[in-house]
Structure 1
Amino acid sequence: MRKGYVIGAIALLLALGVGWYLGSPKWTLYQMREAAQDGDTDKLAEYIDFPALRASLKEEMKASAAAEMQKPENKDGFAALGMAFGMTMIDNMVDGMVTPTAMRKVFLANKDKGPPAVTKVDGSREDVAIERHGMDRFFVRNDAASSSAALIFTRHGLGWQLSGMRLPE
């Protein structure tokens, strides 16, 4: 009799673990969308790791600017000077843009026409893909677009926080 309880308890824990693994990313995205639509910036901010997100965006934007500087059409002096000046402004620009209020506006912009990965995530959409990367990370991509853009979420306790973005190449 006792052996049955132990097996039942193990099966229950295993089912809960699998349920968390499969369902928690969708639940997090749903909660973020609801917070943005309700205008609850405090709740939305709980799902975003702002320092990590800022660092990720700065890195992505600087890498993109550096790649742009290497293009042959941008080799003249004025283009290079403009790009170098632009790279110095990236840090301040990202710091000003990635705030709880700004993120709320991103989520609310064009509710009906916005990018599916941001405003329309609900487990039923076929054009949004959640890619798991181990137990600690998942990416949200738009399957309909042929770009490498993605939202990157990392695990914080049993929940998830938006901690980075991959910009399209």
Structure 2
Amino acid sequence: MSRISKSVLTALIVIAAVAALGLLYASPYIALDRMKRAADARDAETVNAYVDFPLLRESLKEQVGQLLTRKIDVRKSGNPLALLGAMIGAALIGPLVDSYATPDGVAAILNGIPPRGDPGEKPPAPPSPDSATPGTAPSAQQSPPVTSAPAQPAPKQPPQTTAGYRSFDTFTVNYRHGAGDARYSAILKRYGLFSWKLVGIELNG
């Protein structure tokens, strides 16, 4: 092999190594983007590929339980009503986990709407495909409203997020100022070299 050929081969190897390292570093960001797009579109098949639902369920159960404990704090209160509230809250954990360990729940988590431990809480439903789009003309049978419609509230600002590696195999997305000024983190784990899955959340308030 000539000296030029060896130089070209060496350059190609270096380029391939740099590209592989770049992909290795960027892989959780790519997975997060694809996961969010799939969750927002309620593409269950794709969401399933990016979420470890058994681990997510365990994380939700633990985190919501701790959230309820902080809310009621039975250990510091001798009020029997507080104990009753704790028992009721514990009974709500299962349905709440069931509702958030879904594509709807994943979409909520990735859009700044974590579970808050409220009775009957469910993630927001996806937008209806039958809802009217801006600029659609009303049908002839529709009569104009008698009173003017109330002003629409200002759209909610998206949550402030920061993302980064916690370790080689753990990647976190930290949310600030989401719904109700929520502060929490979504946890992704590495599966293989380039694949990542959502495995849990950390509720901080």
Say whether the fold is shared (TM-score over 0.5). Answer: yes
Is residue 141–residue 151 contact of structure 1 (8 Å, CA) maintained in 2? Answer: yes
Partner of 1:75: 78
Aligned match for 1:156, one of 191, 194, 198 = 191
**Distance change in 2, residues 1:60/1:114 (3 Å):** farther
| Per-residue deviation, residues 69-117 of structure 1 (Å, max 9, x unmatched) | 2464x4301111221332243134313431235435666859964744x
**Structure 2 stretches lacking a partner, 5+ long:** 112-123, 128-154
- The RMSD of aligned alpha carbons is 3.1
Name the SS for the 1:131 alignment partner: strand
Name the SS for the 2:168 alignment partner: coil
Structure with bigger helix share is 1
1:22 aligns with 2:20: no
Q: How does 1:75-114 map to 2 (within 5 A)?
A: 75-104=78-107, 113=156
Partner of 2:137: none
**Structure 1 stretches lacking a partner, 5+ long:** 117-126
Return the index of the structure with the highest Cα Rg.
Answer: 2
* TM-score scaled by length of structure 2: 0.62
Name the SS for the 1:39 alignment partner: coil
In structure 2, C-alpha distance between the alignment counterparts of 1:161 and 1:54, rounded to whole Å: 13
Q: Percent identity?
A: 27
In structure 1, C-alpha distance between the alignment counterparts of 2:66 and 2:50, rounded to whole Å: 26
* TM-score scaled by length of structure 1: 0.73
Is residue 173–residue 186 contact of structure 2 (8 Å, CA) maintained in 1? Answer: yes
Name the SS for the 1:150 alignment partner: strand
Report the residue type matching 1:163 in the other structure: V
| Per-residue deviation, residues 2-35 of structure 1 (Å, max 9, x unmatched) | 6535633542343123212332222112212322
The count of residues paired between Structure 1 and Structure 2 equals 158
Is residue 41–residue 101 contact of structure 1 (8 Å, CA) maintained in 2? Answer: no
Report the residue type matching 2:196 in the other structure: W
Name the SS for the 1:20 alignment partner: helix
